[in-house]
Every structure is written in C-alpha cells, then in structure tokens.
Amino acid sequence: MNSSQAQRVAEDPWRVFKIMAEFVDSFDTLSRLGPAVTVFGSARTKSDDPIYKATQEVTLGLAKEGFAVVTGGGPGIMEAANRGAAQGRGPSVGLNIELPFEQKGNKYANIQVNFHYFFSRKVCLVKYSMGFIYMPGGFGTLDEMFEVLTLVQTQRIPAFPIILYGSEFWTGLLAWVRAQMEPRKLVSDGDLDFLKIVDTPAQAIEILKDYRRSVGVPETVPAAFR
C-alpha cells in the first residue's frame, strides 16, 4: 500500500461522520416540511425561456395549494422553481451541492441545505417528496428521472406522480424506450405508465392535488409559512 492509499484508508472513517452529519442536518430540516414536490430541470435555462416561466407558474400554484417545493438549489430551472414557491409564500427548499466552478445557491430558496456529497443530496431530493416534476434538462435531469422511476418500479418508494413537462421534449425519449427496450423485455410492460406527460402548469398541479387527495394527506403548510 502506497502513501496515498494509506492516507485514504485513514481518512475514510472520518468521512463517514461527515456523511452522517449531512444526513442528520438535512433529515431534521426536511422532515418538518409537510407535503412536498421536487422539481428537476436544467441549470442552464435562462430566465427569459418559456420553460423557466412555466416552472415558476407551476411552483407558484403548488405553493398556493399548500405544497412545499424542493430543488437542487442552483440556477436555471431550480431557480425558477424556488422563485415561484417563494412568491406563493410557501416553503422553497434548495438542496445545494458544493461544486468548485459551477453551482451557487439561488436567492429564492428560503430554506437552504448544503451538501458536499452528491449521493446524500440525491437521497434528500427524493426522501421527503410525494411527487416529482421533470422539466427539460440534461444528463442530471435524466439521471434523476430514471432513478425515481427505478425506485417506483422496484417498489422501494410508493407510485408517486412522476410528471414530465413538455411533450415535445420527452415524447422522443419514451418512444425510444418503447421501440428499443420493451421489445427486448429490458423493461416490463406498463413501466412507462408511471410517467405522465403534461404541457401546462395546471395539468401538473392537478395531478399532484389528485394524488394528495387519494392518499389522504392533509393540505397543510408549516406554521412559519402561513
């Protein structure tokens, strides 16, 4: 074992405590939210993009309906989602990741939790939400979408609403899955039924309201945001 390997071995037990601290802090904060929805999408989307405006409208409506909104805390779609939630006077949560050159927390998150580790942040983006909205995005958005779909498919989490916003963006991907994966039995028949494509903020909001009613979750907002 060389010196660099020995150093990593010596540091790993202490790294476990840092990971535990991230989970303890984030679990303590997020467990107080009430019904929440996580919004994913590109960090590169500009504020004059129609998708930015649509995201803001979705989360403004969700906040008015008593949902907390959770994002990755950065710019683009995340900023738009936090902005709409804050305008709706609801919990607007940003789970920001520490990156050397890219991401800084946006100013519209009125609850901020910072992470060093991607995997602990990913756990928290899913753990306390009862629905997920995917706006157009890149590899990170696809990663999160397929991860949540896998968790639902394998019954690790309930069949929460998984909403894909923008049929023009998402239809081609789902058509490829149907054409290439389903015939080879690489996915099960009906797996794509967990995904709902919408084209308006009202459609997304109604799906989430219907699900909340179906599972009997009270329409409550934490006292600090009433």
16-30, 102-116, 138-152 — most confident range: 138-152
Locate 191 and state its tokens. 């797996």
Beta strands in the chain (DSSP E): 36-40, 68-71, 92-97, 111-115, 132-134, 162-165, 195-198
With 90 as the cut, is the pLDDT of residue 5 above it?
no
Query: 226 falls in which pLDDT band (50, 70, 90)?
Result: very low
Locate 209 and state its tokens. 């309201």
Q: Picking from 87-91, 96-100, 174-178, which range would have the lowest pLDDT averaged per residue?
A: 96-100
Q: Determine the average pLDDT of the residues in 69-82.
A: 97
How far from the centroid of its chain's Cα atoms is residue 113's Cα? Answer: 14
Give percent of the chain above pLDDT 70. Answer: 89
Q: What is the pTM of this model?
A: 0.90
Angle, CA 109 vertex, CA 102 and CA 123 arms, to 5°: 70
User: Helix or strand or coil: residue 111?
Assistant: strand
- What pLDDT does 103 receive? 57
All structural domains of the chain, each given as residue ranges with its CATH number in brackets, are 3-214 (3.40.50.450)
Q: How far apart are CA 142 and CA 200, in angstroms?
A: 20
- 204 contact partners, CB below 8 Å, separation of at least 6: 58, 133, 163, 165, 198
- What pLDDT does 220 receive? 61
